[in-house]
């Protein structure tokens, strides 16, 4: 009997690393990279950033893995109901996000942008250093990434809060939920971090109304997805001084077109969707564990609940 095929359709360079890891750890599974020219009936697993236009050519597909933490790039209606869908939850992505948000939070807290401007102007001028305890961080989302970020920021002494759809209880974190909790959460937040999935309910959430509730001088760290943000609302809030600065890892579209105001804005730090990346070594461990879970009827790590869209 021929082996099951695991088909990979994403960055081919990292795909080569996945192939070597599969060969070493799961030689019983045949690893193939897109484009696939073998028998489509043998494909049981597909890992993709962007899936093929139609999945119907793989009649025996059992699990679709997103190689990223989000699944908003998938058309959920086009995925046959019997195919399980898992997003990527692996230590490499988590560690990268903890680093990025910590870096951004500390750079805001320690006024890195202002010192950069002062240096350019050859100005030697100390600004008062406030303790971390005086800077309140709030994270939109209380999922895998947000919770790991909050552990780190809480350890640095920042007063921490989080907002989610359902109510959570997390030691040392003030937890808010739902539409009724959002205003109070925003009103106590000096540094707002977005770590939400992109769904119909969260698209455009970073808008004028939301910014207006933040205290004057608050800052934004946007690590969710580009369409969470109303770009004009951000520019207005920055230009009026209501928001002091923004660190943006994601935008819409990616990359931004030449001449877009974000490129040159003195109060915006922009990075090209690099806050965290799936790391082949740890991702393949999780994927192989998930294949085992799938066969033994256990819940998959990162299983997407299609009804709620994340
Ligand atoms: P997750 O574990 O699924 O957590 C999502 C969180 O968002 C949950 O706490 C959920 O609430 C909350 N949420 C969802 N819809 C909501 C709504 N309508 N109102 C309030 N809260 C809502 O996801 P994750 O692994 O932490 O990843 C989060 C997101 O980070 C990804 O979807 C992606 O957009 C982004 N990301 C970005 C990068 C990058 O490099 N920039 C890398 C990885 C991930 P409940 O707890 O109540 O379910």
| pTM attached to this predicted model | 0.97
CA 27 to chain centre: 31
Asked whether 196 lines ligand 1 (CB < 6 A), one says: yes
Give the tens place of pLDDT for each residue, 22-51.
999 999 999 999 999 999 999 999 999 998
Which residue's CA is the closest to the ligand 1 atom numbered 4? 143
Mean pLDDT of 272-296: 98
Output the six-digit token pair for 147.
Answer: 């919770």
Domain boundaries, the chain: 5-90+278-296, 92-270
CB 5 within 8 A of CB 38: yes
Asked whether 198 lines ligand 1 (CB < 6 A), one says: yes
Catalytic residue among 225, 267, 293, 294: 225
Kind and range of the H or E element at 113? helix 112-120
Residue 211: count of CB within 10 angstroms of its CB: 21
Q: Share the mean pLDDT of the chain.
A: 97
Compute the distance from residue 222 Cα to the ligand 1 centre, in Å: 12
Separation between Cα atoms, residue 79 and residue 51, nearest integer Å: 10
Is the pLDDT at 2 greater than 90? The verdict is: no
Output the six-digit token pair for 244.
Answer: 């002091």
Is the pLDDT at 1 greater than 90? The verdict is: no
β-pair partners for 229: 206
**Can you tell me whether residue 26 is helix, strand or coil?**
coil
Separation between Cα atoms, residue 304 and residue 310, nearest integer Å: 5
Give the tens place of pLDDT for each residue, 95-109.
999 999 999 999 999
In this prediction, residue 271 carries a pLDDT of 98
In this prediction, residue 63 carries a pLDDT of 98
CB 304 within 8 A of CB 281: no
Q: Given strand 5-9, what is the order of strands in its sheet?
A: 30-33, 5-9, 43-48, 63-66, 84-86
Give the tens place of pLDDT for each residue, 212-246.
999 999 999 999 999 999 999 999 999 999 999 99
Q: Is 225 labeled as catalytic in the residue annotation?
A: yes
Compute the distance from residue 83 Cα to the ligand 1 centre, in Å: 22
Polymer length in residues for the chain:
310
Separation between Cα atoms, residue 205 and residue 152, nearest integer Å: 25
Angle at 260 between CA 257 and CA 261, to 5 degrees: 165
Residues with Cβ < 8 Å from 82, sequence gap 6 or more? Answer: 62
In this prediction, residue 194 carries a pLDDT of 99
Is the pLDDT at 150 greater than 80? The verdict is: yes
Asked whether 310 lines ligand 1 (CB < 6 A), one says: yes
| Substitution candidate for ligand 1 out of 143, 168, 199 with most atoms within 8 A of CB | 143
Q: Is 273 labeled as catalytic in the residue annotation?
A: yes
Domain at 92-270, CATH class: alpha beta
Ligand 1: nearest atom to the Cα of 68: 43
Domain at 5-90+278-296, CATH class: alpha beta
Asked whether 141 lines ligand 1 (CB < 6 A), one says: yes
Domains 5-90+278-296 and 92-270 share a fold: yes
Is the pLDDT at 170 greater than 80? The verdict is: yes
Quickly state the pLDDT bin for 136 (edges 50, 70, 90): very high
Residue 147: count of CB within 10 angstroms of its CB: 18
Give the tens place of pLDDT for each residue, 189-200.
999 999 999 999
Is the pLDDT at 146 greater than 90? The verdict is: yes
Residue 17: count of CB within 10 angstroms of its CB: 15
Quickly state the pLDDT bin for 124 (edges 50, 70, 90): very high
Give 177-186's long-range contacts (Cβ < 8 A, gap of 24+): 182/210, 182/213, 183/213, 185/138, 185/161, 186/138, 186/210, 186/213, 186/214
Separation between Cα atoms, residue 213 and residue 184, nearest integer Å: 9
Asked whether 143 lines ligand 1 (CB < 6 A), one says: yes
Mean pLDDT of 124-130: 97
Separation between Cα atoms, residue 66 and residue 293, nearest integer Å: 17
CA 222 to chain centre: 9
Is the pLDDT at 269 greater than 90? The verdict is: yes
CA-only gyration radius of the chain, Å: 21
Give the tens place of pLDDT for each residue, 44-97.
999 999 989 899 999 999 999 999 999 999 999 999 999 999 999 999 999 999
Residues with Cβ < 8 Å from 173, sequence gap 6 or more? Answer: 142, 150, 154, 160, 161, 162
CB 189 within 8 A of CB 218: yes
Asked whether 69 lines ligand 1 (CB < 6 A), one says: yes
């Amino acid at each position: 009997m021929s082996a099951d095929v695991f088909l990979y359709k994403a960055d081919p360079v990292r795909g080569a690393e996945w192939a070597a890891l599969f060969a070493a750890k799961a030689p019983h599974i045949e690893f193939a990279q897109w484009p696939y020219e073998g028998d489509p009936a043998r494909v049981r697993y597909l890992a993709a950033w962007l899936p093929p236009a139609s999945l119907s050519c793989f009649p025996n597909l059992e699990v679709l893995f997103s190689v990223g933490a989000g699944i908003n790039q998938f058309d959920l209606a086009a995925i046959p109901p019997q195919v399980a869908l898992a997003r990527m939850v692996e230590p490499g992505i988590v560690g990268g996000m903890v680093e990025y948000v910590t870096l951004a939070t500390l750079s805001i807290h320690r006024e890195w942008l202002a010192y950069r401007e002062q240096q350019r102007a050859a100005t030697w001028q100390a600004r008062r250093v406030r303790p971390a305890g005086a800077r309140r961080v709030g994270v939109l989302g209380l999922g895998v990434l947000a919770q790991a970020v909050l552990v780190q920021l809480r350890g640095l002494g920042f007063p921490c809060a989080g907002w989610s759809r359902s109510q959570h209880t997390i030691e040392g974190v003030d937890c808010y939920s739902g539409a009724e909790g959002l205003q109070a959460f925003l009103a106590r937040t000096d540094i707002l971090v977005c770590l939400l999935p992109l769904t119909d309910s969260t698209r455009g959430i970073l808008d004028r109304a939301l910014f207006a509730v933040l205290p004057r001088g608050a800052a934004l760290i946007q690590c969710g997805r580009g369409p969470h943000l109303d770009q004009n609302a951000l520019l207005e809030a920055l230009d009026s001084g209501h928001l002091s600065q923004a660190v943006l890892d994601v935008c819409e579209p990616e990359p931004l077109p030449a001449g877009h105001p974000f490129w040159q804005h003195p109060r915006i730090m922009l990075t090209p969707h690099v806050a965290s990346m799936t790391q082949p070594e740890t991702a393949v461990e999780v994927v192989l564990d998930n294949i085992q879970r799938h066969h033994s009827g256990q819940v998959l790590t990162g299983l997407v609940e299609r009804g709620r869209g994340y």
